[in-house]
Amino acid sequence: MHCNSRVLAASVLLTLGACAGQTAQKTTPAAQSATGTASNVEQINALYARLDADTKRYTAARAAARSGEPSAGAAAEAKAALNDLQAASTQCLALRDCESQRFFAAFDHLLRQDSGLLGEDAGNPAPDGAETGGEAGVVSPAAAALPEVARSVSLLKGRELSDLIALNDPIKVALEQWLTQLRPNLMLAYENYEYMRYRMWPEYQKAGLPEALLFGMLAKESGGKVHAVSRSGASGPLQFMYATGARFGLGNVDGFDQRFDPRLSAHANAAYINEQLAVFNDNLELVLGAYNGGEGAMQRLAARNPTVGFWDAKIYFEVNPETRDYVPMVLAAAWLFLHPERYHLTFPKIDSKPAAIALAVPSSIDELTVCLGQEGNPNGWFRTLRNLNPQYEPQQPIAAGTRIELPARLVSAYEKSCASGKWVELASELHSAAAPVAPAGFARTERPARGSSTAKTNSAKTYVVKKGETLSAIAHKLGCGSVGELAGPNRIKGPAYAVKPGQTLQVSCGKR
């Protein structure tokens, strides 16, 4: 009985979640007389009185339950208080000048203080395949406050999504794209994910979110390339903008942008998803739309159309084309992750067991890739080593004795080919070579434009570092072959390659 009360409390909080981002209107008696009738004022004041009374009833019932074993009477009183509070909040939403934010704050307070009476684990089933033992006391705060998150799990694993795919043309189109021209991208994303799974999946598991959703977002966002950087500056395997990443704990530590860390990125992504599920009343499509197109824009659009979902024309055709593509592509990739056999799709079997070694000799990610060759992987190991050791630039020297993570099946290959011998020598020889760098102040002479008698010169470009950017991200954005091409001319030393916002860089690499 007390479990149902917890579900009720959280569901009412979700009903009000869409109002959380709105500024509460403080209505004075003068303003009330100008904007509403005396009857409205009386109704609103009566709702506020019920809010206060129901909050006190619930708190008293909670205190009574805490004095001993939770009783049926205490649970029934708490449920009755929440039922009345839900009814009052619904009436408030329909009245102009009624401050719905008051109700949201009340439910938030009640859920935060809730313990014992309503049950700590009510409504929080473990994800499919998840172990329910785990570390004692480790529960996602978002999942604990949001038992209805199980509905979004069933959305990906149950009948709801099956019906959606059967009836929804955008998802059918996305499925066809993944299974045709984007099939190589999907397979590569799966391989990349499998090697990072031990870092990323536990963060989703603790948050009560489905692994399929994590894979779907990873496949669409970066293809599992940890150091992916978009034209807009979104970075990492799950493509966080700097401000959003910082909001969820992804900062810049000792020159390393934590958006590139697969574990931290998955943790931040899970927290974001759970936060937005609360805002959008568990509507996963709207949450995905917010992740891609911005939660502010999606909240405003959903507030104008509270009775329809993402696929309704009132929302679907109002979001930007990128978001219209993004949502079905993520859901389609998630569905294929769950049911590949239904679409004549076979994901590769990958021995992704992780391990770590201490480097026998100084090396770099590039040198390790060369000396390992194609040991068990026709594409080589650059991407996997890069993803598992995101704090190191590919050409950055790494001291002997440093701990490096890699798939367990490469441990013997490392000892055979990378601890000593001809492949180590070859890797070192190639790595020590450097392309010529133009001297400072060098200007390439341009040919005169046709019809012009005046020769023009094109001096080296400059770039001003923006907040949150790293030298690696800037090099990628400008099309430079490596971070060293920027570091050398600007006298920036590794391994940190530290840059500061506002710093002007001389750029002689990349596209002109």
pLDDT per position as a tens digit, 400-415: 999 999 999 999 999 9
* Least confident among 61-70, 124-133, 295-304: 124-133
Question: Which of 57, 89, 113 lies at the terminal end of a domain, its last residue?
Answer: 113
Residue 22 has pLDDT above 60, yes or no: no
Lowest-pLDDT range of 200-209, 295-304, 381-390, 406-415:
200-209
**Residue in this structure with the two tokens 């940890």, named with its chain if needed:** 226
Residue 23 zone, left/alpha/beta (φ > 0; ψ -120 to 50; rest): beta
Residues 337 and 373 in one domain: no
Cβ-based neighbour number of residue 464 at 10 Å:
10
- 75 class by beta-carbon count within 10 Å (0-12 exposed, 13-18 middle, 19+ buried): buried
140 within a domain of the structure (yes/no): no
DSSP 3-state of 253 = strand
Query: Distance between CA atoms of 373 and 317, rounded to whole angstroms?
Result: 49
Decide: pTM greater than 0.85: no
In degrees, rounded to 5, the angle at the alpha carbon of residue 96 between the alpha carbons of residues 93 and 98 is 60
Domain boundary among 95, 113, 131: 113
Total of domains in the chain: 4
CATH number, domain of 461, equals 3.10.350.10
In tens, the pLDDT along 121-171 reads 322 333 333 333 333 233 333 333 333 333 334 344 333 444 444 457 899
Query: Which domain-ending residue is among 322, 343, 364?
Result: 343
For the cut 80, the answer to whether the pLDDT of residue 10 exceeds it is no
Distance CA 55, CA 41 (A): 21
Please give the residue that has the higher pLDDT: either 145 or 330. Answer: 330
Within a domain: 104: yes
Residue 220 has pLDDT above 90, yes or no: yes
Write the pLDDT tens digit of every residue in 221-261. 999 999 998 888 899 999 999 999 999 999 999 889 999 99
Residues 410 and 300 both lie in one domain: no
- Domain identity same for 202 and 254: yes
Q: Are 500 and 252 in contact (CB under 8 A)?
A: no
Give yes or no: residues 337 and 369 share one domain. no
Q: Report, as an integer, the average pLDDT of 459-467.
A: 77
Mean pLDDT value of segment 43-58:
86
Angle at 236 between CA 296 and CA 261, to 5 degrees: 115
Q: Tell me if 437 is assigned to some domain.
A: no
Whichever domain contains 17, its CATH number is 1.20.1440
Q: What does the alpha-carbon distance between residue 83 and residue 165 come to, in Å, rounded to a whole number?
A: 36
Confirm whether 254 is domain-assigned. yes
302 with 153, same domain: the answer is yes
- Say yes or no: 195 and 316 in one domain: yes
Which token pair is 114? 């809730």
Specify whether 201 is located in the same domain as 334.
Answer: yes
Phi, psi of 406 (to 5 degrees): -160, 165
Q: Please state, in angstroms and rounded to a whole number, the distance separating the CA atoms of residues 509 and 226.
A: 23
Greatest alpha-carbon pair distance for the chain in Å reads 96
461-483 average pLDDT score: 81
Residue 460's domain spans which residues? 453-507
Q: Which residue has the tokens 């020297």?
A: 397
335 and 367 inside one domain? no
- The reply to whether 74 and 171 lie within a common domain is no
Residue 438 lies inside a defined structural domain of this protein: no
Tokens representing 213?
């959703």
Lookup result for tokens 């593509």: 325
**Is residue 103 domain-shared with residue 165, that is, in the same domain?**
no
The answer to which of 70-74, 152-156, 385-389 has the lowest mean pLDDT is 152-156
* Cα dihedral value 407, 413, 418, 421, nearest 10: 180
In a domain? residue 389 = yes
Return the CATH number at 178: 1.10.530.10
Which percentage of the chain shows pLDDT scores above 70? 72
* Cβ neighbours of residue 151 closer than 8 Å, sequence gap 6 or more: 282
* Range of lowest pLDDT (45-59, 66-80, 99-113): 99-113
Burial 477-506 (b: 16+ CB within 10 A, else e): bbebebbbbbbbbbebebbebebeeeeebb
Q: Do 323 and 201 fall within a single domain?
A: yes
pLDDT above 80: residue 67: no
181 and 325 fall within a common domain:
yes
Return d(Cα 450, Cα 472) in angstroms, integer. Answer: 38
In this predicted model, which residue has the larger pLDDT, 5 or 509?
Answer: 509
Q: Is residue 15 part of a domain?
A: yes
Instruction: Report the C-alpha gap between 196 and 212 in whole angstroms.
Output: 14
Q: How far is CA 72 from CA 5, 110, 116, 118, 191, in A?
A: 12, 19, 13, 11, 52
Residue 442 lies in a domain: no
Q: What angle do CA 490, 491, 496 make, to 5 degrees?
A: 105
